[in-house]
Amino acid sequence: MKTMKIVIVAGCIALLCAGTAWAQEATSPPKKVTTPEALRNEIEALKAVKVAWREIAWKSCLLEGLKESRAQNKPALLWVFIDRPVDDARC
């Protein structure tokens, strides 16, 4: 069985500027991140370089989609999903 440790990093400018540290119960002690730059680098290292489903040119506007459907004489393919932003990689 594959053993995994999960690391989740909340990355936002506000958090970086505030220099917050998240104390959590983990399978191993969290690494000490001493500077905003080091935290930013750690976040960057987690990001996937290429996210497959983003290769699809999703629109988020139904009216725009139907307009393009008319203009290009193509059907619109609707992915109806739980409420997340269109470029949300979780969906």
What are the φ/ψ torsions at residue 12 (nearest 5 degrees)?
-155, 160
Q: Is 11 exposed, middle or buried (0-12, 13-18, 19+ CB in 10 A)?
A: middle
Q: Which of 1, 14, 29, 32 binds another protein (CB under 8 A)?
A: 14
Query: Is 36 one of the binding residues for another protein (CB under 8 A)?
Result: no
- Cα distance between residue 13 and residue 45, in whole Å: 17
Query: Is 26 one of the binding residues for another protein (CB under 8 A)?
Result: no
Query: Is 1 one of the binding residues for another protein (CB under 8 A)?
Result: no
Which stretches of the chain bind another protein, using CB under 8 A?
2-15, 18-25, 28, 43, 45-48, 51-53, 55-70, 72-86, 88-91
